[in-house]
Amino acid sequence: MEYVTEKNLRRLCILFSILFILGACAETQLIVHTAKRLSISKGKDPTAQSKGMYKVGNPYQIKGIWYHPKVDYNYNRTGIASWYGPGFHGKKTANGEIYDQNALTAAHKTLPMPSLVQVTNLENGRSLRLTINDRGPYAYGRIIDVSRRGAQLLGFHRRGTARVQVQILGAESRLMAQQAKGEALLSSVGSPIQPDTKLPKADVAKETLAPPKGANVSNAESLSGDKKLVIQKTTSRERLRASTVRPDGKVTSIAVKPSKMYIQVGAFTKYQNAYRSAARLGSLHNIKVTSKIVNGREFFRVRAGPILSLNEADHLLESILRVGFGDARIIVD
């Protein structure tokens, strides 16, 4: 009887030990999940992937205006920038990344995601690279919506808006598209022949031949020794592959020139079409038809302006959009 009791006691001890360990594990798991929920509530999900998908998207309509996303590596426009932050921090962007208001990102209505753009504040000359990873802004007359950190570095965080130039960086944006789509790059794949690889050497018979008549005899010692001639050719694309294409936060400066705001209603290849559009808007503010040569072609631009204040430009743009000119936009010239 004593033997049975002792055996049962051992079993009970083992059982209590197991229950204690399971309880400790459950408590640890509860702490981890609680911490994770707190992190998510603050927009810092530790399991969230910051790398989003490559996305262009289909045409879409916002507030009666149609937008047509497309790949355009020649994009270069001026307009009004705004910024967005706290209300979107920690939420998903249009291409699946988690928005961080302290990162160097921006939202654009039509450019591919991700893309790399150079944004220049035309009022103070500050210029900065930003990654496009979201859609917007949808306020009339805004060309780009930058992160809070982007607005701080560009110098218009307190003011809210700025006259800017937005230019896509084509080579870098193509690389970002490749990376986002998971396409292999040469630099990441590497060469199958590494520096330490020992290759078999072929036996070569050596024979000294007499130089032809009239030829100069070179000094054999000048060709021997430890010095080796290395020919290295690196293309700009290979250099980009070896370096990062993400924004580095460096702010550059350009000379500031006086600029004016206009509403560009449209650009036409035929003067008659431009004249008819201007006639429809004749009662509005200072409508003019001007000519400009772009890549060897003449375009007739219908513009309103110059306009002194952004508030006036916003109201005028809204009136022109209501007339039916969906492509009208604020430009800086």
What is the mean pLDDT of each successive set of 10 residues along the chain, which is 333 residues long?
A: 54 58 45 37 44 91 92 97 93 95 97 98 97 94 97 97 97 94 59 48 55 56 45 50 73 92 94 93 85 92 94 93 91 94
Same domain, yes or no: 30 and 78: no
Q: Is residue 270 part of a domain?
A: yes
Dihedral class, residue 4 (left if φ above 0, else alpha if ψ from -120 to 50, else beta)? alpha
Give the range of the structural domain holding residue 31, as residue numbers without chain letter.
Answer: 18-47
pLDDT at 64: 87
Q: What is the rounded CA–CA span in Å between residue 326 and residue 74?
A: 22
**Total domains present in the chain:** 3
- Given 253, 270, 294, the domain boundary residue is 253
Asked if 101 and 86 touch (Cβ cutoff 8 Å), the reply is yes
The amino acid present at 305, given as its one-letter code, is G
Same domain, yes or no: 120 and 151: yes
Same domain, yes or no: 26 and 111: no
Same domain, yes or no: 280 and 322: yes
pLDDT at 137: 95
- Given 201, 230, 253, the domain boundary residue is 253
Beta strands 126-134; 105-107: pairing state: parallel
Give 111's contacts (C-beta < 8 A, 6+ positions apart): 69, 72, 75, 117, 132, 168
- Given 253, 276, 293, the domain boundary residue is 253
Q: What is the rounded CA–CA span in Å between residue 305 and residue 316?
A: 10
